[in-house]
Structure 1
Amino acid sequence: MVLPAAVEAVRTVCWTAALLAGHLAPGRRDPRRAAALLRRYLYRMGPLYLKAGQILGTQSGLWGPGAAAEFRSFFAGLPPMAPAALRRTLARSLGAPADRVFASFDWTPVAAGTVAQVHRATLPSGEAVAVKVVKEGVPERLHASARVLGLLLHLAHLLVPACRRFDLRGQFAELRPALLGQFDLRAEARHQDRIRENFAGNPRVGVPRLYPEHCTDRVLVMEFVDGVPGHEADRLPADRRPDLAARVQEAFYCMAYFHGRFHVDPHPGNVVFGAGGEVVFLDFGLVGVLSEDDRWHLSAFYYACVRGRWELAADRFTGAFVVGGDRLSADCRTELADVLRHHFEDRSRRWSTMAFFRDAAMLLHRRGARLSTRITLLALALLTGEGFVYDVDPGFDLWTHNRRFTDRFSPYQSDAARETFRREIEARAPRAAALRAAAADTLVAPTHLDRFVLPSTFPLVVRSAAGARLTDVDGNVYLDLSGGYGPHILGYGHPVVREAIHRAVADGAVNALGNPAEFALARLLAQAFPGQGRALLCNSGTEAVLVAIRLARAWTNRRRVAKCEGHYHGFSDHGQVSSWFRYSGDPHRPRAVANSAGADPRLVADTVVLQYGDPASFDRIAACAAELACVIVEPMPAALAEVDRGFLRRLRQECDRHGIVLIFDEVVTGFRVDYGGAQRLAGVRPDLTCAGKIIGGGLPCGAVVGRPHLVDLARTTHDPFLDVTARAFVGGTMSGNSVTAAAGAATLGHLRAHPEIYPALARRTDLLTGLLTGEAAAAGVPCRITGSRSIFSVTFDHASPRRIRDRLAGSHLQASVALAYYLRKHGVYLPELHTAMLSAAHTEDDLAQVAGAFGKSVREMADAGFFAH
């Protein structure tokens, strides 16, 4: 490496001197001549510098169209390697000559880039493939160029104060692994597979399929994609071009902001347009990754910008993406807010990432701060991508389409949509609107009026409910798909439950005293969960989780708790950790995040976050087993409506191995998916089960059911001194009160006596999900309906990711909220952004009515522009 680096240093000095001499010569100051001179310089400097030329080729706004055209040859018109070098590379990488691996091989490349070239070939099976081959000598040249450039930047860092302030040395160090990793095609294959998976099912975006059996570190073999090269978009039929720029922008933004894995080099040479205008991405040698935290901060920043809250946007930007941002003065933040306002408002008709980053960087430079290297690759990708978008459509209004895109993934409606809904809903339900307005002075109702994070802009105010229907205070009747978030599995006001409540009230509504209904409910619970045997009653699912964790800590004398990301266990500090609103850390090693102001940071830090269904979770359990009191998990996460039996069985084994208490949170699924819960479906028994919702028959109730040695820790020893040190205190004046217990015992008794309810619910859930899927397909709307055993959800997205964080990342939240309001026009109540549920009161005619309302709603939403592009 010493000799190539020395040669590269000499080359750098000579050609840089020639560039400066040419630029300073008389008559060389016009942009076209300067661009031609720079193009020749970059070409002679080698592959590391050609990347810069590809970016410049997309920046017609910087150079002017004529000057930028000088760099277009860098997209795919670079010289290929010699035929003999190509044959050597193929034979060495594939382990055999090319004519023995492929039925045919075209030795003339279809494209040649800075690092590799691509050939068309045919497999023995007859499939046409593209073969990407790293050019011989390029890895060595890249390493040598990187060493020289790194040395030059080091010298500049020592000698030039401005370089120190911008930390060019540090920023290059951040970029260097990505730049040098371009010739490792195995890493590229992993990126390509992941991005292809992210866009699976999306008809507007494509990524070629790989043939892994033929892929090596220097050769990639993938399906051959016929299409129009990105720099020749004008060859597409006229009817395919109007939305092309928006499709390119949306595809890239999806990668960056919602998938967290994006193409760093989206120049025209790395894109092909299909016959239908679909955008096909190629060449994943340079891929950037945004963490969950980065995406959260970017979303928060853009949300503030969209709302025009510039001071807040400046705070969020500096807090997340500026080194030394915490030391910036108030007036500097005000200046940055002015920069944001200028670019996001004044220049919105011709948005420029380059101009924004330039102005922000210069301001920060003057104040002794700089942009973080964490967003270097994203800034580079945005710079290249926006240049490509303008190249496809010079008149494209990027900021307007950016707003339209980011609005989709905010749960809150645009001002125009909110005003439309307000007029329609308040015209239909004026009394409800008046009651909500009056209640604002006296009532905070976080569950249904003032919902945390998730919107309840137009909540229902219900006068009565019966069976599967709700009647609001204005007399409007709705088919209900909520069931009060789960308790009403028999439907509202079922005769068995109503009669039990009437009798219990007539008998005095006893609390804080033993009563027959309390004994009956406890017996039904203990019998429903075989092998657990003891039941302890409380007042809610949240209380049940608090009690179960305390019992586990008392038994094990350990303090830490493990839970799964995306699993909600009530509103306690533990229950909300990494539950629903925000996630953090690597998906295989999630980091605990509080999700609420006021949470005890020590308790959050003591929580180990696992990933449901991920084998890496067991390594995390083993690593901190000596400190873990319990693992709490939803055996059938409501957001997924699936049971991972293999994961739960292994979890049971690991907890047994390490003496950890296993807790199943069946507050939602207990007695809904089966009598005895999801644990019956999984064939796995926990140590403790948390129950709630259905077990109260529509009244507040919770319970912990479990093994005697654990639940008995809440029972007195009859020695007060021993109780304080060896028993877990659990209290509750209303726990086991006769009215709630009577309603719960009546509900469970009816379910046990009528086991046919469960298969009927399962059939109707399958029927409804099929009907809704058909309606969405007929309307041409990207929609995924998932459901099982009375629980279902509607997500407007193409993909079907497995992790909860990924399911939420790309879903069209605005459309999901809007669907709830459109359905109300057609007599159906669906909770906004919440899992929906059926009850035994729903008939097949009801489901047909729901499907019809859904079909009308998604068509109206499509006409209103919710699914544009």
Structure 2
Amino acid sequence: MKAAAQALLESCRVAWWTAVLAAGLCLGRRDRARASRLLRAYLLRMGPLYIKAGQVLGTQSGLLPRQVTDEFRTFFNELPPMREPALEKVLRHGLGRPPEEVFESFDRRPVAAGSVAQVHRAVAGGRPVAVKVVKAGVRGRLEAGAAVIGRLLAVAHLLPRLRGYDLPGHFREMRPLLTGQCDMAAEADRQREVAENFRSHPFVRVPRVHEELCGPDVLVMEYVDGIPGHDAGAVPVSRRELAARLQDAFYCMVYFHGRFHVDPHPGNIVFTPDGGITLLDFGLVGHLSEDDKWNLASFYYACIRKEWALAGRRFTRAFAVRPETLGHGAYEEELGAILRRHFEEQASHWSTLAFLDDAIRLLGRHGTRITTTFSVLALSLLTGEGFISEVDPEIDLWATTRRFTDRFAPYLNEGLRDTFQREIGERAPRTQALREEAARHLVAPTHFDRFVLPSAFPLAVAQAKGSRLRDLDGNEYVDLSGGYGPHILGYAHPAVVAAIQEAAARGAVNAVGNPDEVRLAGLIAAAFGPEHKVVLSNSGTEAVQIALRIARARTGRQRVAKFEGHYHGFSDQGLVSSWFRYRGDPRAPEPVGNSAGMQDAVVAQTLVLQYGEEDSLRRIAAHAHELACVVLEPMPSALGDFDPAFLRRLAAVCAEAGVLVVYDEVVTGFRVHYGGVQHLAGTAPDLTCLGKIIGGGLPAGAVVGRAEVIDTARTSGDPFRDVDSRAFAGGTMSGNSVTAAAGAATLLELRDRPQIYSRLRDRTAWLVEDLTAQAGDCGVPCRVKGRDSVFSVAFDHATPRLVRDRLAGLDVTATLAFAYHMRRYGVHLPELHTMMLSAAHSDADLEQVSEAFGKSVREMLSTGFFGAHRN
């Protein structure tokens, strides 16, 4: 009873002092300053949670008068430290011994003191380190402060006008984040994660953690000297540039990484003399799931296109609790007006605070509230944008935000788009005209009408020969696409052309037996080992469908496991969690569809795994009783490499569980090696899916595997047994004589000329090294990865391990612009796809690619493409 009375008393005090400040702000300058001082003193006495509120107020120079923000800005660097006896007690408990026995020296005078912890300078291993120590009693004060706020909000909830906001429920969800910020071991983990995300960033860094010295009460990290955040004016970089860099740092965390600093006030920032940014204090770190990032990006993209009704629906889906209750006309009309006001009429004076204030009020009036996830994000943006605007009051936040919110958008700024439109229009008018004609008759989701990220300037080819393409207007290009992989010998190879002509002259046989299909099947089977057999199909997608059906028929189980980010063709099963959209914990992903029209049951029943992770093997073992097979790209196209140790462990776990392993080598089969990746990795799956190269440039697919497995697709001779236990895998054009002849001619060339592979391996390595060096010389955030004729270029400062992280940080706009810049210098590459070399590429071709790369990157750099303030 006494505790409840005290909590109620404190609630009244908080309400009283908040009212004092509000009243003071409406009075004259002197009274306003006095009210600010009184509230500051009270917040300081109340403890850490209230001090955090004061720090937020200190960043709001665009909202509050200057003398008010100046008063609260003292919370950044003028908070009292612990008394020395308390410090000594915490250090002994946290380190397990006196600090003198751990460090070569330890300065008991703190260099900084915050609301939760204070920082001391020490020396360890001959290097200066920063020792962050939790203040004595802070845990109890955080809990007490949270209890007071919780009771205050419970009282507020009794008011009819506030009931719709569900303030108690909202705070209940946020409370663990706020009260958990004094666990230094957890903070060390968060700091390491953010540091890894920024590991290769050109101007953002995070201090390295000394893990062996960290615990719940103490965090030890490298010591960072520099200019304090509140002295931003002392940084010898223009205000505009510095503000743009801050925004780059904050928004990268939110929109790319999904792990963001909730408290990015000046006290948690240190600048280097050259304008670099060091991020400190990861006690409060927010998290956006893959769905959160997708919903946020889709909302912003609709706003950019001024599609207000769609933006309203996406806002409701992304931000609102109980969105299903908000579909009526009055709500939609009010929301549309808010969106137009902030994203169109007031875009040049964008304020996250102003937008969210209007949005929260609207949701409250209609009986719901904003989600806790986006409340935390709002707090981060509120603090960060306040700091940014303090550094550069003239910054156009919305204009620069578009770089981050467009991460899934095929967006080029107007100037660049107009430039390419003019150049390509002048250079290739017939190609442009063909695209317009195609729009009347053809839907081509891989080129003219590329799915999700449509091409602004697709290429139309009149002739392809060797390593080069010629478009309809006579422009010639070194080609790095190879038709997405089939043309490993180059276009129109004489042996392949002759085989096609001869087979066509013999009648282009299909749906009856012919020697060409037997020859092709024999070559494929021989490449994978004795007693292997083959089922032919018309594409890689069909091959995967056949392999999964065989696996289900052989095991009697229904469920399929696949890996996140691995693409297995356009079937419902192949598209699950394959690109763009991912969901759930990275260690245990949840299935998600990547196209409208996919069967919900297929998506929901797919077990999604993470390549290279031990957790995936444990999940396979746990679900073995229901799994027919695991399908994967042994060398994921998005990563450009393979993990042989993981592939071997996967094979062992699946063999023990009776789960079939299916390799999708549609891209890598006969490209990285005669056969495929499995020959390089030393593994043998139960089934392998092939395509592309085995057709010699014509449509083809195949499944190859041990005879006892493949024979599941062969008739038993008993019609009743066939229906019960055999997998049908027929196709009218499967194994047609023209495709089979072209494929056999290609495989014979590759089999009889093994030097093709060693030459491709060496040339890929040279190209990766050369392009990497050029990007490094220019200071461009670019990763070039590849091996064995397959390589990729990604403009991203991070070095992600997971496919979902690679996509999250990928600068789509830069990738598209790079492709169009390269065309200026006679190089064609697939805009958003891995690139491939062929046996037809000469030394001169590679030199041309290298020269075009250097020119393109320097041109992009000179126009501010990779700068923090890029438009």
Would you call these one fold, judging by a TM-score over 0.5? Answer: yes
Q: How does 1:713-732 map to 2 (within 5 A)?
A: 713-732=712-731
Correspondence for 1:145: 145
Q: How does 1:643-662 map to 2 (within 5 A)?
A: 643-662=642-661
Match of 1:264 among 258, 262, 277: 262
1:117 alignment partner, SS class = strand
More displaced 10-residue stretch of structure 1: 370-379 or 697-706: 370-379
Q: State the Cα RMSD in Å.
A: 1.8
Distance change >3 Å, CA 409–CA 110, structure 1 → 2: farther
Q: How does 1:330-409 map to 2 (within 5 A)?
A: 330-407=329-406
Alpha-carbon separation, structure 2, partners of 1:465 and 1:704: 29
Q: Does 2:583 correspond to 1:584? A: yes
Distance change >3 Å, CA 149–CA 361, structure 1 → 2: same
2:53 alignment partner, SS class = helix
Correspondence for 1:756: 755
Shift of 1:34: 2.7
1:831 alignment partner, SS class = coil
Correspondence for 1:113: 114
Per the normalisation by structure 1, the TM-score is: 0.97
More displaced 10-residue stretch of structure 1: 164-173 or 715-724: 715-724
Alpha-carbon separation, structure 1, partners of 2:347 and 2:36: 28
Correspondence for 2:835: 836
More displaced 10-residue stretch of structure 1: 818-827 or 341-350: 341-350
Correspondence for 2:135: 135
Distance change >3 Å, CA 161–CA 850, structure 1 → 2: same
Shift of 1:62: 1.7
Correspondence for 2:99: 98
2:426 alignment partner, SS class = helix
Q: Tell me the alpha carbon deviations over residues 616-638 of structure 1, each in whole angstroms, 9 at most, x when there is no partner.
A: 11122122211111100000011
Correspondence for 1:696: 695
Q: Is the 8 A contact 1:108 1:119 kept in 2?
A: yes
Alpha-carbon separation, structure 2, partners of 1:633 and 1:787: 19
Shift of 1:819: 0.9
Correspondence for 1:323: 321
Alpha-carbon separation, structure 2, partners of 1:177 and 1:389: 28
Alpha-carbon separation, structure 2, partners of 1:71 and 1:209: 30
Shift of 1:221: 0.6
Q: How does 1:271-310 map to 2 (within 5 A)?
A: 271-310=269-308
Gaps of 5+ in 1: none
Q: Is the 8 A contact 1:229 1:272 kept in 2?
A: yes
Q: Tell me the alpha carbon deviations over residues 418-456 of structure 1, each in whole angstroms, 9 at most, x when there is no partner.
A: 222111111101111111111211111111111111322
Distance change >3 Å, CA 438–CA 91, structure 1 → 2: same
Correspondence for 1:824: 823
Distance change >3 Å, CA 55–CA 23, structure 1 → 2: closer
Correspondence for 1:428: 427
Q: Is the 8 A contact 1:118 1:130 kept in 2?
A: yes
Shift of 1:777: 2.2
Q: Tell me the alpha carbon deviations over residues 529-550 of structure 1, each in whole angstroms, 9 at most, x when there is no partner.
A: 1256010101000000000000
Q: Does 2:795 correspond to 1:803? A: no
Q: Tell me the alpha carbon deviations over residues 597-629 of structure 1, each in whole angstroms, 9 at most, x when there is no partner.
A: 111111111111101111111122122211111
Q: Does 2:77 correspond to 1:76? A: yes
Q: Tell me the alpha carbon deviations over residues 99-154 of structure 1, each in whole angstroms, 9 at most, x when there is no partner.
A: 1111111111111010000111111x210111100000111111122123223323
Q: Does 2:542 correspond to 1:564? A: no
Correspondence for 1:686: 685
Q: Is the 8 A contact 2:162 2:364 kept in 1?
A: no
Correspondence for 1:734: 733
Alpha-carbon separation, structure 1, partners of 2:339 and 2:494: 61
1:621 alignment partner, SS class = helix
Correspondence for 2:414: 415
Shift of 1:399: 1.4
Q: Is the 8 A contact 1:409 1:811 kept in 2?
A: no
Correspondence for 1:622: 621
Output the amino acid matched with 1:837. Answer: M
Alpha-carbon separation, structure 1, partners of 2:27 and 2:646: 72
Aligned residues: 865
Q: Tell me the alpha carbon deviations over residues 550-588 of structure 1, each in whole angstroms, 9 at most, x when there is no partner.
A: 000101111111000000000000011110121111111
Output the amino acid matched with 1:361. Answer: I
Alpha-carbon separation, structure 2, partners of 1:223 and 1:188: 15
Output the amino acid matched with 1:104. Answer: S
Distance change >3 Å, CA 20–CA 851, structure 1 → 2: closer
Q: Is the 8 A contact 1:336 1:360 kept in 2?
A: yes
Correspondence for 2:608: 609
Alpha-carbon separation, structure 1, partners of 2:16 and 2:356: 29
Q: Is the 8 A contact 2:80 2:113 kept in 1?
A: yes
Shift of 1:404: 3.7
Q: Tell me the alpha carbon deviations over residues 20-43 of structure 1, each in whole angstroms, 9 at most, x when there is no partner.
A: 579779978843333222212211
Match of 1:313 among 311, 314, 329: 311
Output the amino acid matched with 2:276. Answer: E
Large movers: runs of 4+ above 6 Å: 2-6, 21-29
2:484 alignment partner, SS class = coil
Correspondence for 2:707: 708
More displaced 10-residue stretch of structure 1: 192-201 or 302-311: 302-311
Alpha-carbon separation, structure 2, partners of 1:18 and 1:436: 67
Shift of 1:750: 1.0
Alpha-carbon separation, structure 1, partners of 2:150 and 2:609: 40
Distance change >3 Å, CA 300–CA 488, structure 1 → 2: same
Output the amino acid matched with 2:292. Answer: D
Q: How does 1:41-52 map to 2 (within 5 A)?
A: 41-52=42-53
Shift of 1:414: 3.0
Alpha-carbon separation, structure 2, partners of 1:510 and 1:268: 74
Output the amino acid matched with 2:36. Answer: A
Q: Is the 8 A contact 1:31 1:63 kept in 2?
A: no
1:242 alignment partner, SS class = helix
Alpha-carbon separation, structure 1, partners of 2:509 and 2:20: 96
Distance change >3 Å, CA 342–CA 532, structure 1 → 2: farther
Distance change >3 Å, CA 24–CA 751, structure 1 → 2: closer
Per the normalisation by structure 2, the TM-score is: 0.97
Alpha-carbon separation, structure 1, partners of 2:456 and 2:23: 63
More displaced 10-residue stretch of structure 1: 740-749 or 331-340: 331-340
Q: How does 1:155-166 map to 2 (within 5 A)?
A: 155-157=155-157, 159-166=158-165
Distance change >3 Å, CA 303–CA 23, structure 1 → 2: closer
Alpha-carbon separation, structure 1, partners of 2:724 and 2:13: 81
Distance change >3 Å, CA 5–CA 281, structure 1 → 2: farther
Q: Alignment identity in percent? A: 59
Q: Is the 8 A contact 1:165 1:369 kept in 2?
A: yes
Correspondence for 2:437: 438
Match of 2:246 among 245, 248, 253: 248
Output the amino acid matched with 1:280. Answer: T
Q: Tell me the alpha carbon deviations over residues 325-372 of structure 1, each in whole angstroms, 9 at most, x when there is no partner.
A: 322212321221210111122222222111111111112222223212
Output the amino acid matched with 2:93. Answer: R
Q: Tell me the alpha carbon deviations over residues 369-399 of structure 1, each in whole angstroms, 9 at most, x when there is no partner.
A: 3212221110111111111101111222111
Q: Does 2:491 correspond to 1:482? A: no
Correspondence for 1:511: 510
Alpha-carbon separation, structure 2, partners of 1:699 and 1:201: 42
Q: Tell me the alpha carbon deviations over residues 787-831 of structure 1, each in whole angstroms, 9 at most, x when there is no partner.
A: 110000000111111111101111111010111111111000011
Gaps of 5+ in 2: none
Q: Is the 8 A contact 1:631 1:661 kept in 2?
A: yes
Distance change >3 Å, CA 696–CA 74, structure 1 → 2: same
1:590 alignment partner, SS class = strand
Alpha-carbon separation, structure 2, partners of 1:498 and 1:175: 67
Output the amino acid matched with 2:71. Answer: E
Q: Is the 8 A contact 1:4 1:144 kept in 2?
A: no
Output the amino acid matched with 2:320. Answer: V
Alpha-carbon separation, structure 1, partners of 2:800 and 2:56: 33
Alpha-carbon separation, structure 2, partners of 1:119 and 1:439: 68
